[in-house]
């Protein structure tokens, strides 16, 4: 993957990562929730992983590699990477629910607070 070799912004867009983290562990370490929320693209978990006690976060690979991965590793919080994806834009949506519009280069994803 290009992002692992330092090419964070490619011609395809901004390289992002989807990470799954245990909700129980995140709530057990409240000082980790702040950096996860601040650095996540939506400033909160995107959604709960279906049927499991897990939260899903989206980060830019740059932030993941420089900050978030270290925060989780330092606190021994296990995680799994669901996928890497490219986004050509990451911008706030003007909708009344405060949603963010994440333009995936493959297909647009509309992520709302209700997904969390």
Report mean pLDDT in 10-residue bins for the chain, 116 residues: 45 88 82 89 77 87 96 93 86 49 45 35
Q: What is the pLDDT of residue 100?
A: 47
Q: What is the pLDDT of residue 43?
A: 87
Q: What is the pLDDT of residue 90?
A: 67
pTM over 0.75: no
State the CB neighbour count (10 A cutoff) for residue 35. Answer: 15
Query: In order of start, what are the domains of the chain with their CATH numbers?
Result: 11-85 (3.30.70.260)
Which residues partner with 18 through β-bridges? 58, 83
Q: What is the pLDDT of residue 96?
A: 47
Q: Enter the tokens of residue 105.
A: 């280069």
């Amino acid at each position: 993957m290009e992002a692992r070799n330092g090419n964070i912004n490619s011609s395809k867009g901004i390289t992002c990562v989807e990470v799954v983290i245990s909700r129980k562990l995140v709530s057990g370490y409240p000082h980790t929730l702040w950096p996860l929320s601040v650095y996540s693209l939506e400033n909160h978990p995107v959604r709960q992983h279906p049927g499991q006690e897990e939260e899903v976060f989206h980060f830019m690979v740059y932030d993941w590699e420089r900050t978030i991965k270290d925060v989780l590793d330092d606190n021994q919080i296990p995680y799994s990477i669901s996928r890497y994806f490219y986004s050509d834009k990451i911008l706030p949506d003007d909708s009344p629910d405060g949603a963010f519009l994440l333009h995936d280069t493959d297909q647009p994803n509309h992520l709302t607070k209700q997904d969390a």
